[in-house]
Structure 1
Amino acid sequence: MSTQEHIYLRVSMPPNELAAELASMLGMELTRDAADRVYLGRPARLAEGVVGGEVYGNFTVDPDAALDEESFTDSFPMMFDVGFTGGDRSVQLEEAKLLFVELSDKYPATMALVRGFDMLIAVSSERAGLRWMPENTTPYAPDRSAWLAYQE
């Protein structure tokens, strides 16, 4: 189980290009590690600490999934991890929600905010707008009716 929140983005570009766009848009600092992975971070708004994480290609895609088995997140090529250095998961989730709303207002891509890998918190698209999902909605086939309008 992931201890981070994840923003999935339906965009096709290298992680470094996406990270540069997001950094500019969200007022975040872009850094790279020795392996050339890209990270974004900025001071948290709700508590002491930094919010942000790695921007990378979606490794969770199941290319062999049948249409009725496909996860909502299978259609998103990119991911942005959202962690919080303060260690409080509830603050981390609230910070991720703030980032997601800000990104939804500024970036014209379809996006999903997922807690860990299993709870779909919100979805957004330029066409359908921002929608907060009912509690315990998953990005998996059994909850397809909740997110189908955002599956493009």
Structure 2
Amino acid sequence: MLIQEYTTGNSDIIGAFFSFLFTSQKFSGKMEGFLTKFNLTNTQLSILLLLHLNKDSFETPSSISKKLGLSTPTISNVLKTLHKKEYIQKQTSPENKKSSYITLDKNGINFLKDFIPYCKEKYEDFLSNFDAEELNYLKELSLKIFSNLDSF
């Protein structure tokens, strides 16, 4: 068995890691397929949601890069696409002319206003067999994994 071949003393860790890896890959693939209806990628949606959640402040390409764990050049390319779609605005930082502030544009806000309710039924169905305690535990574990990814 694959897990046994790579056991380094704690097969629970290896099993959990492989399970998470395969689950995250399948989820990512399913989301990519779903998002093609909207001409959007996972990364583009993540950036739009990040900007929406931080609507009272601003993000920079480097802060987005750090939060999503993607390279700055990758984020820059995605931001160019979102800017062409008129989903985001870029404003030059007054403190540093080489840096820019990224915020949602009116089209990005309107897209999310339509998108989030449209997806409500989809994600409610997806998580419908979890009770409230499991949903809270899933949220806590997800945040812990998210935080731990900085050390990966």
After TM superposition, the score normalised by the length of structure 2 is 0.26
Larger radius of gyration: 2
Structure with more relative contact order (C-alpha pairs < 8 Å, separation 6 or more): 1
Higher share of residues assigned helix: 2
* Higher normalized strand content (fraction of residues): 1
